[in-house]
Chain A
Amino acid sequence: MLLSILIVTTNCDTDEIEIIENTQVEKSNNLINYISRDKIPNIINLISPNNSSGKNTTAKATEVSNAVGTISVEEILEVIDTLGNVNYSFVVTPKTSKPNSIFNLVVNSKGQTANMAIIEYRMEPSFAEDYYNGIKTFGEFTGSIVTYPFIPESDSDLFNKSNGYCLDDFGAIVNCSERFIIDGVGVDPDDNSTETTNNSGSTGGGTFGTTTSGDTNTSTGGDGGDVTHNYGEPDIGSAGGSGGYYYFDCVTSIRTFELDCVLVLVPYDHESKPSKQLKSKSSSFDCCDGVTIDGVLGVNLTTMAAAKIKYCLQEDGFELSSSQIAYIDALNGKDASILNNFLENENCSADAKEFGKLAIDAYVNSGTVDYVDKIIDKLTGKAKCVYDKLLNSSTGFKNAIKKFEPEFPVAHLKFDMGDIGASKGKTIAPNNNPLTPNSPDFVITIRLNNNSTISGVGKRPNLLVAKTIAHEVIHAEMYRKLLSVLDNGGNIDGVTRQDVLGALDGNYPGMYDYFRRHKNWQHQQMATHYRETLARILQEYDTGITVPNNQQPAQLYMDLSWEGLIYKNGSNTIYTWTSLSQEEKERIEDVISAYINNNSNETCTE
């Protein structure tokens, strides 16, 4: 009988994993589904610490908390084996994160009782690195699987060495079962002196003590050589009901089904079909080819990348708000995987952390994240459409944006929208003052106006929305340059005018000069030196044709580039503007005004 599973996936062989709850196809006797808490209220009550008092857990809670940590009850992996055993695997987030470990609570349901255990998949560090970098799949797991007894109402933290539950003073496992797996295949228990094989590594940091594998009998050859085991039946009934002890005696292998979409741990072989399974080899194992496996457990990996992300983002005193943690847990597999890879590649640096937090917020608000150019895009509707067209059509704009690609962690960009009154757009430098508009370290925020006034994106002509975006990006570029020489931890906190002068002096003489002499220094500099850049971007956006370097942009675009730079009075006066003839000033103002009148309320189509 073929063993199969049904998971509806849109693209199972890529990073995108979409699991639709409770959809299943039966090609074998095994059934594997992701289900929600609503389907198994009795089990949820059993695992809840307050179940002994008869009090139900909150119907809508997404997790159950206890002394061990939190148990996610959102995406529960249900596996029904050929004997009718039903196992539920829940993702557990322990109170103390271990970056190379994945924790599941497995509940075996039989009638009105349930047996439970927490299983730690403790990855050997080099395997963990390969796995997180996408070099290996979980089916090639190398490490150990530790089984802890689970008592819902217990106030002991199982993973805390001091309680002496499973670990001795040296962190070695003494009272819980530990099985070693190499390349997805279980090491023969007989070849290890005891099932409680000492793990000499520290458990606190998730390190893995290498097993004395000896004759592991693992097969690496093409035909999948036999693996010899002492296959006893698992002791699954020593204590029924809550607080039961589900002791997985004969973990043999980890198998990958459907190209890593679902993974199952095979705790023992059914005696009727021992040989076929034993001849299988994880790396080439065809899970559907005439194999009957009983007693399978699901390995619930749904939030593993999320756990890794949380671990990184909370390192070095960084704090996540409860809403951010909820966001991370809510990330879909693809986004979590990409974000996790990004953080790994950036060695979880401070600026990567900041960017990671923004990415989380962006995902939650249906925004997009560009991990290459490090841009958070939370624009929507017309603003998003214009921005995307700018990126696609304007080489000048693209080049401006690319300056935020950080070979050096200087600054990243975040675009968002808000009701900003009468302003068309604003740019906020990185600062941590919670009492003023702020932006995270290393991140410059550009905000476009989404209100319904004449300053809002909706009313403004598309070309002038493009102009506002480019105009704000030039402000951001000025902040970026400043940050690159300030050496102030990626923000402007506590920086004085003297600090800025000192930083710009000798590094950016143009900015230094404008900063020193003018109150409205950014607009002064932009009006004098960046209008042609703006006009080139606008012309390319409008016509789809790049303006050759040896040509001036058309007059229309040069005129429109003045919008936002016309100040005639007081300390804001732009001298490049006031130096123009009255006739020229009136002409430009008329062009801008006419363009707005003739093109307001435009829609943007892709």
Chain B
Amino acid sequence: MKNLTLIFLLVSSLICFSQEKKKDTIYILFNDQSNEKCIVEDGSGNSSNINKFKKELQGDYIYFRICDEIFTTHKTKSFKDTCSIKALDNLKFVNFEYLLNKYNSLYEFKHHVFDKIYFVEKISKGKIVKYEVDWIDEIIMIED
């Protein structure tokens, strides 16, 4: 009986521990048509009120910028899926602030905060495209 209790405790703690370590997979609606704005500094003393969501192509990479945070995906090597807009019903979306709060609550690099991050873009009336992106920490790349 004593042994059984010990095993139970051990297994329970292992399960708890593993659950604690498990990172989230999150989905964010990336809408570069949005009117939302952010104030972003260029490091030279200029602040601009720019669109909150911005997408640009740099070489083989698509840069998704939300305010001054950078997320990238490889044009061909990264996961990308086009599906019906109905698929949105099964996805649990978070907003950008959730992402930042989570980062600020942990002592991790940005690319280690979540298991996977997907950006979802609406590309037509009935279709969305889902990109797996990496959140770029200063340890990987620094701009300006």
Please report A residues at the B interface, Cβ cutoff 8 Å. Answer: 418-429, 431, 433-437, 471, 475, 492, 495-498, 500, 519-523, 562-570, 572, 585, 588-589, 592-593
Contact = CB atoms under 8 A, between A and B. Distances in A.
Contact of B63 (A421, A425, A569): A421
Contacts of A523: 43, 142
B41 A423 contact: no
B126 interface: no
A437 B42 contact: no
B112 interface: yes
A487 to B, nearest CB: 16
Question: Which of B63, B132, B134, B139 is packed against the most chain A CB atoms within 10 Å?
Answer: B139
B143 A423 contact: yes
Contact of A427 (B47, B72, B141): B141
A568 B47 CA distance: 9
B42 A422 contact: yes
B138 A522 contact: yes
Contacts of B63: 421
A435 B109 CA distance: 16
Contacts of A435: 72-74, 77-78, 132, 134
Contacts, number: 100
A429 B141 CA distance: 6
Contact of B142 (A422, A434, A475, A569): A475
18 contacts: A422-B42, A424-B144, A425-B144, A426-B142, A429-B139, A431-B140, A433-B140, A434-B74, A435-B72, A436-B72, A436-B111, A436-B134, A436-B136, A437-B61, A437-B72, A496-B112, A522-B142, A588-B45
Interface in B117-144: 132, 134, 136, 138-144
Nearest to A428: B141
B134 A433 contact: yes
Question: Which of B63, B109, B142, B144 is packed against the most chain A CB atoms within 10 Å?
Answer: B144
Contacts of B77: 434-435
A423 to B, nearest CB: 4
Q: Rank and list the top 9 A-B pairs by shortest CB-CB distance, nearest first.
A: A589-B45, A423-B143, A564-B43, A566-B45, A426-B143, A436-B134, A428-B141, A564-B144, A435-B74
B44 interface: yes
A433 B112 CA distance: 13
Given A423-B144, A424-B144, A566 B139 contact: no
Nearest to B67: A570
A44 B39 CA distance: 66
Contacts of B73: 435
B49 to A, nearest CB: 12
A425 B42 CA distance: 12
B56 interface: yes
B109 A421 contact: no
A566 B134 CA distance: 26
Contacts of B115: none
A84 to B, nearest CB: 55
A522 B141 CA distance: 11
A263 B73 CA distance: 52
